[in-house]
């Protein structure tokens, strides 16, 4: 794989992960446990979709095969998506939704914080804007983890259960592959070992305050999302998300 190909893959990973999580959060419209949380979830979803748009536009320029941002988002099949497995997991109850968001937000924050200093000016520019939003996202999700984990007996049980369910998908966030390593060597992506330490450190810190126990670092993990191997959930997400663009591929707005 050339450096150019690795860069394309990396940008698509950022785009796809943000887009799919934004789509997941949008499913909470009318279903969140409180009006305030529905508004907050939709705001996070809009932030992520906006970030995804910026990444897709850059990816389209890098790939340069005639496709635009909309084509990359709405006209690719599941095996062409490069999102993290974590973000495609179902909302389940609100504790699972929050735990999923928290695990992602920690990774997202430290990744974007590093990308601000990327040697690629376009990536650095997109990250500089996105990290401001990611900072708020992390503050919100970590506060909810602590509030639910150290709340009532029932809320604690649900948050611990959410951690137990989702932990198996977190290894992919901090286990580098050839693309991650290539981006680090090129001065673009974060140091994989530093990202791992930062992620684990913050997860442990918030977990301790929330009185919940994260999984073991050496636990068996599901992997593969970054190379196009997904759970069955992604197909269902895309069936909803891509229906109109695929049904009316020549439609235009007016």
171-196: pLDDT as tens digits? 999 999 999 999 999 999 999 999 99
- Total-model pTM: 0.96
Does position 138 have pLDDT exceeding 60, yes or no?
Answer: yes
Q: Does a structural domain hold residue 163?
A: yes
pLDDT value at 37 more than 90: no
Q: Which residues, 6 or more positions from 173, have their beta carbon under 8 angstroms from its beta carbon?
A: 84, 86, 103, 104, 107, 199
Q: What is the CATH number of the domain that holds 237?
A: 1.20.1260.10
Please report, rounded to a whole number, the percentage of residues in the chain having pLDDT higher than 70. Answer: 99
pLDDT of 253 strictly over 70: no
Does residue 254 carry a pLDDT above 70? no
pLDDT reported for residue 249: 81
pLDDT computed for residue 40 by the predictor: 86
Structure token pair of residue 90: 């179902």
Residue 179: predicted pLDDT:
98
What confidence tens digit (pLDDT) does each residue in 97-114 have?
999 999 999 999 999 999
Cα–Cα dist 52/73, whole Å: 9
- Per-residue pLDDT tens over the stretch 204-220: 999 999 999 999 999 99
Work out the pLDDT band at 134, boundaries 50, 70, 90: very high
- 253 in a domain, yes or no? no
* Pair 100, 17: CB distance under 8 Å: no
Q: Distance from first CA to last CA of the chain, Å, rounded?
A: 42
The verdict on residue 254 lying in a domain is: no
pLDDT-derived band at 59, boundaries 50, 70, 90: very high
Q: What average pLDDT does the segment 1-18 reach?
A: 96
Residue 76 or 38, more confident? 76
What pLDDT sits at residue 13?
98
What pLDDT does residue 252 have?
Answer: 66
Q: 252 lies in a domain?
A: no
Number of domains observed in the structure of the chain: 1
Cα–Cα distance for residue pair 19/55, rounded to 1 Å: 10
> Considering the domain boundaries, does residue 72 fall inside one?
yes
CA distance 50 to 130: 9
Q: Report the distance separating Cα 15 and Cα 27, nearest Å.
A: 19
Q: Closest Cα partner for 162 from 172, 175, 148, 147? A: 148
Contacts of 243 (CB under 8 A, 6+ apart): none
Based on the number of CB atoms within 10 Å of its own CB, is 208 exposed (0-12), middle (13-18) or buried (19 or more)? middle
Q: Note the pLDDT of residue 164.
A: 98
pLDDT score of 30: 83
Chain centroid to Cα 130, Å, comes to 12
Burial 176-207 (b: 16+ CB within 10 A, else e): beebbebbbeeebbbebeebbebbeebbeebb
Q: How far is CA 206 from the centre of its chain?
A: 19
Mean pLDDT of 128-152: 98
Long-range contacts, stretch 241-249, CB < 8 angstroms, 24+ apart: 241/23, 241/74, 242/74, 242/75, 245/70, 245/74, 245/75, 246/74, 246/75, 249/75
Q: For residue 78, what are the domain limits?
A: 3-247
Rounded to the nearest integer, the mean pLDDT of the chain is: 95
H helices, E strands: number in the chain? 11, 0
């Amino acid at each position: 794989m050339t450096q150019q190909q690795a860069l394309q893959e990396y940008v698509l990973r950022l785009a796809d992960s943000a887009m799919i999580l934004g789509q997941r959060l949008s499913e909470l419209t009318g279903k969140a446990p409180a009006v305030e949380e529905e508004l907050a979830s939709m705001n996070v979803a809009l932030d992520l979709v906006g970030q995804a748009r910026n990444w897709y536009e850059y990816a389209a320029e890098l790939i340069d095969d005639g496709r635009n941002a909309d084509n990359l988002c709405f006209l690719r099949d599941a095996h062409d998506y490069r999102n993290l497995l974590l973000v495609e997991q179902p909302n389940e109850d609100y504790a699972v939704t929050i735990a999923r968001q928290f695990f992602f937000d920690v990774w997202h924050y430290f990744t974007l914080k590093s990308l601000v200093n990327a040697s690629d000016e376009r990536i650095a520019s997109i990250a500089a804007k996105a990290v401001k939003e990611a900072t708020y996202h992390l503050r919100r999700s970590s506060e909810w983890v602590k509030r639910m984990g150290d709340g009532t007996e029932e809320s604690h049980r649900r948050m611990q259960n959410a951690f137990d369910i989702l932990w198996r998908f977190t290894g992919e966030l901090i286990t580098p592959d050839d693309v991650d390593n290539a981006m680090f060597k090129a001065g673009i992506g974060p140091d994989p070992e530093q990202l791992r330490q930062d992620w684990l450190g913050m997860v442990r810190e918030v977990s301790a305050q929330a009185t919940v126990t994260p999984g073991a670092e050496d636990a068996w993990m599901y992997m593969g999302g970054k190379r196009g191997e997904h759970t069955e959930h992604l197909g269902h997400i895309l069936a909803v998300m891509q229906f109109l663009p695929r049904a009316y591929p020549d439609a235009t707005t007016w």
